[in-house]
Amino acid sequence: MNSIEIRELTKRYGTHRAVDGLTFDVLPGRVTGFLGPNGAGKSTTMRLLLGLDRPTSGTATIGGRRYPDLTDPLHRVGVLLDAQAAHGGRTARDHLRLLAAAGRIPMRRVDEVLEQTGMASVAKRRIKSFSLGMRQRLGIAAALIGDPGVLLLDEPTNGLDPEGIIWIRELMRSLAAEGRAVLVSSHLMSETSALADHLVVLGRGKLLADTSMEAFIDARSTPRARLRTSDPVRLRDALARDDLELVAADDGRWTVEGIRAEQLGSLAAREGVPLLELSDERASLEQAYLDLTADHAQFSAAH
Ligand SMILES: Nc1ncnc2c1ncn2[C@@H]1O[C@H](COP(=O)(O)OP(=O)(O)OP(=O)(O)O)[C@@H](O)[C@H]1O
């Protein structure tokens, strides 16, 4: 089955618990964001899952089996761990052909994944001439070559430009919609909130949250709208009737706490107040994540 099961997973290095009693599932059909500050234990969890390191206790399995016991690993799990790992002297195409040969994967997959990742036009160039973004795309092509049901991507947006980030978001969504389980690690809440449907948050090796993105946002962010208007006086009066306050921001705009842009737009329309700009502010979400992980950050400002 296309899933990942982590049960009571612990990894100690000496007396330090890099991963501490973790239990969670990564389910098919959605993109799960794997979040936590640097040193929280994300990479260690991924290494344990791939059998690159042995757990002190607990289990990490893919469809109920340990990675080293999988009979057809490239077909079951696609992995992007370190985009720099490919041999620089080879061309992108040769790199993927070697992978396909090693995994007994049909060579037509090489052209398919080159196409899918937008790398077809540079397939004959040597990897050492590639930008970080191109290496990321090649790493993703390699992860997809076996058409796997489970994807593990460590910081896949590294080095990608805004267009590349939108591309990878759409790619991950479509892979999940096809029934695959997609786990994407990041230390950035802002980026992950745009990528993932579900969140698993770690702090100092422990599980801090395992929740849908929607529930995470609803539980932790006070809605706040930001706007520009040509009639702040009338808007202020209208808001006051709902016990809401119009607060001047330093850039000539206004903010209103406790209301979403959508509701504020309707209110302004009802009152005939012209709005020249209106958006939701999500800064509080980033703050909620920082608050959640602050006590657990390995290297907080106080150290
Ligand atoms: N081989 C090792 N030996 C000793 N300590 C280790 C080893 N690997 C990881 N650690 C420690 O385990 C903790 C978790 O590290 P890990 O790399 O898993 O965190 P992370 O969440 O992936 O962070 P990052 O975002 O920086 O990659 C850190 O304190 C790290 O120093």
* 189 pLDDT tier (thresholds 50, 70, 90): confident
Please give the distance, rounded to the nearest whole angstrom, from the Cα atom of residue 264 to the centre of ligand 1. Answer: 45
Same domain, 238 and 165: no
Domain count within the chain? 2
The CA dihedral of 52, 53, 59, 61, to the nearest 10 degrees, is: 0
Residue 182: the pLDDT is 97
Is pLDDT of 296 > 50?
yes
Is pLDDT of 83 > 70?
no
Query: Which ligand 1 atom is at minimum distance from the Cα of 36?
Result: 21
Same domain, 140 and 229: no
Same domain, 234 and 163: no
Same domain, 116 and 248: no
Same domain, 201 and 232: no
**What CATH number should be reported for the domain holding residue 193?**
3.40.50.300
Mean pLDDT across 63-71? 94
**What CATH number should be reported for the domain holding residue 241?**
3.30.70.100
Distances (CA, A) of 224 to 94, 250, 251: 51, 16, 16
295 in any annotated domain: no
The whole domain housing 249 covers 222-281
Average pLDDT, rounded, for the chain: 90
Please give the distance, rounded to the nearest whole angstrom, from the Cα atom of residue 151 to the centre of ligand 1. Answer: 21
Same domain, 56 and 95: yes
Substitution site in 35, 42, 48, 188 for ligand 1 pocket (most atoms within 8 Å of beta carbon): 42
Among the ranges given (30-44, 50-64, 132-146, 158-172), the one the predictor scored with the smallest mean pLDDT: 158-172
Residue 196: the pLDDT is 93
Nearest CA residue ID for atom 10, ligand 1? 18
pLDDT digits (tens, 9 = 90+) for 121-177: 999 999 999 988 889 999 999 999 999 999 999 988 888 888 888 999 999 999 999
pLDDT digits (tens, 9 = 90+) for 196-231: 999 999 999 999 999 998 888 877 777 889 999 999
Mean pLDDT across 101-110? 94
Same domain, 65 and 194: yes
ipTM exceeding cut-off 0.85 for this assembly: yes
Identify the residues whose C-beta falls under 6 Å from ligand 1: 13, 18, 36, 38-44, 187, 298
DSSP 29: T
Please give the distance, rounded to the nearest whole angstrom, from the Cα atom of residue 39 to the centre of ligand 1. Answer: 5
Same domain, 259 and 140: no
Nearest CA residue ID for atom 16, ligand 1? 41
Nearest CA residue ID for atom 30, ligand 1? 39
Same domain, 80 and 169: yes
pTM attached to this predicted model? 0.80
Burial string for 109-118 (b: 16+ CB within 10 Å, else e) reads: bbebbbebbb
76 in any annotated domain: yes
Same domain, 44 and 185: yes
Q: Are 210 and 63 in contact (CB under 8 A)?
A: no
Residue 139: the pLDDT is 93
